[in-house]
Amino acid sequence: MKRSSTTLAVIFLFVQSTVFAQDLESGFSIQPYASVAVESWSLLDGGAGSGERFMGLVDFGLDFNLSDRDEGHIGFFAYDGPREVDAFTGDFGVFSNIITKSDIILFTAWLQHSFDDFHIKFGQLATDETFFIAEGGSLFINANFGAIPSVSGNVPAPIFSIGSAGIEFLSDSENGYWQIGAYAGDPGPGDQGDHGVNWKAGGDAGYFLIAEKGWAYSLSENQSGLFKIGAYHHSGQFEHFAQGSSVSGNHAFYAIVDQQATESLSLFARFGINPKSDRSVVERYYDLGFTLTGLFERRPHDQCGIAYSKTEFSNGYRQMLAANGQSVASNEQVVEATYTAELSQNWFIQPSLQWIINPHNASEDAIVSGIRLSTDF
C-alpha cells in the first residue's frame, strides 16, 4: 500500500514531543545545517563517451534536541548535474557518490529516544547511514565505497538518496554493539518527480530487514579495530533471470573490518555475498583500502588514500543479458586514489583519480579524474 504522508507524520510527532517533553526548557535546541559539494570530471581514456561532466549537491536540514534523551533530524538533498553514467564512464558502481536521479528530495526525517545503552529511531530512514559502513572508506568518492553493492545492486533498499519509512534499534556495550532495522520495501523511484515520500510497503514491495553485530578490539594502545558482520532479507518480488517470472525474497551476508594500524594509518575491508544468484545482479563484492592522515608535516589534517573494489556479477544475470544480445564481463573493478586538503576554514578540495576496469556498460577500461570543492555551514 502506498504511503505519501511521511512528512506529516514526522511533523505531528515533532509537535507532540515538543508539547509533552517534561524537560523541554532545559533540553530543547535546533541546529540548522547545510553542506555543498561541487565537482568537475574529465574522462581521460576509454569508457563509454568523452568530455567532461559538472555536478553539484546541496545537503541541508535541521538537527534538533527535544530533551536530554530525545533528538530528531530532517534532511533534504538538492542535486543538479548528469543523472546517467552510461554515456560517460559506463560503470556499474558510479564514479561519484553525489550523483542521483532525484532533483529536490526529502531524504530522512526521524525521531530517536535513548535509554542508558539502548536507542530506538523511527521515521523516514536510510540504511547506509547506520549499516554496512566502513569508516575508512568514507574518504573515497566512488560510490562503491559507500552503500555496499551487494545491497545497492540487488534490492530496493533505502539508501542515498531515497529514504523510506522504518524503525531501528541499537544497543551499545563496551565491546561493541548490535543493531537491527525494518523498513518499507520500496523507497520509491528516486527520479526527478520523486520528492521523497513515494515509498511502498507490503505486497509486491515487501519489507527490508537487516541486522548487524559489531565487536571492538585492540591489538595494542594505538591499534584499535572494529569487526562487523551483517545480514539482510528483502521480502518483495524479484525477477528470476532464467524463468523471466517473479519470485519472492532475496537475502545476503556481509563482513567488515576497520583497523587503526598506527596513529595516522587506517585500513578497511568489506565482503558481501548473495546466495540467490538466480535473482541477484551482484553475487559477490569485495573492497579494501587505506587512508593516511598528515602525510606532510605542515598539513597534519590532510588525508590521502588508495582503495580497490571488485563487483562480481552473477551467472544468472549475465546469461539473461547474453540471451538479449548484450555481453558483459564477469566483474567490474575500481582503483581510486584521492587526497583531501583544507583550503581555509570549512572549505575543502579533493582530487580523485579512478581506473575502472571492465566497466559494465563500456567496451574499454575507463580512466576518469575529478576534483571536488566542498564546504559546510
- Taking only the tens place, the pLDDT of each residue in 119-153 is 999 999 999 999 999 999 999 999 999 999 999 99
Residue with cell 552473477: 314
pTM of the model: 0.90
| Residue 164: closest CA among 128, 138, 133 | 128
Residue 10 confidence (pLDDT) above 60: no
| Residue 184: closest CA among 374, 305, 376, 6 | 6
* Cell numbers for 97: 557518490
Q: Compute the distance between CA of residue 373 and CA of residue 83 in angstroms, rounded to an integer.
A: 19
On average, the pLDDT of the chain sits at 92
Sign of CA dihedral 92, 98, 99, 103: positive
- When pLDDT is averaged across residues 17-41 and rounded to a whole number, the result is 75
Residue with cell 504522508: 5
Model pLDDT, residue 106? 97
Model pLDDT, residue 26? 56
Strands (E), the chain: 29-45, 52-65, 70-80, 104-114, 118-125, 164-173, 176-184, 207-220, 223-239, 246-260, 265-273, 282-293, 303-313, 331-344, 347-357, 366-376
Domains in the chain with CATH codes: 31-376 (2.40.160.180)
> Under a CB-based contact definition with an 8 Å cutoff, are residues 197 and 7 in contact?
yes
Which DSSP category does 358 fall into?
S
Residues in Cβ contact with 25 at an 8 Å cutoff, skipping those fewer than 6 apart: none
- Taking only the tens place, the pLDDT of each residue in 181-240 is 999 999 999 999 999 999 999 999 999 999 999 999 988 877 899 999 999 999 999 999
- Taking only the tens place, the pLDDT of each residue in 155-171 is 999 999 999 999 999 99
- When pLDDT is averaged across residues 352-375 and rounded to a whole number, the result is 97
Model pLDDT, residue 27? 72
Q: Compute the distance between CA of residue 371 and CA of residue 186 in angstroms, rounded to an integer.
A: 33
- Taking only the tens place, the pLDDT of each residue in 307-363 is 999 999 999 999 999 999 998 999 999 999 999 999 988 899 999 999 999 999 999
Residues in Cβ contact with 236 at an 8 Å cutoff, skipping those fewer than 6 apart: 155, 156, 185, 186, 204, 205, 206, 207, 208, 248, 249, 250
Rg over alpha carbons for the chain, rounded to the nearest Å, is 21
- Taking only the tens place, the pLDDT of each residue in 236-278 is 999 999 998 999 999 999 999 999 999 999 999 999 999 999 9
Region of 178 please: left (phi>0), alpha (psi -120 to 50) or beta: beta
> Under a CB-based contact definition with an 8 Å cutoff, are residues 56 and 79 in contact?
yes
Residue 15 confidence (pLDDT) above 60: no
| Residue 284: closest CA among 325, 319, 315 | 315
Residue 281 confidence (pLDDT) above 50: yes
Residue 17 confidence (pLDDT) above 60: no
CB 8: neighbour CB atoms within 10 A?
10
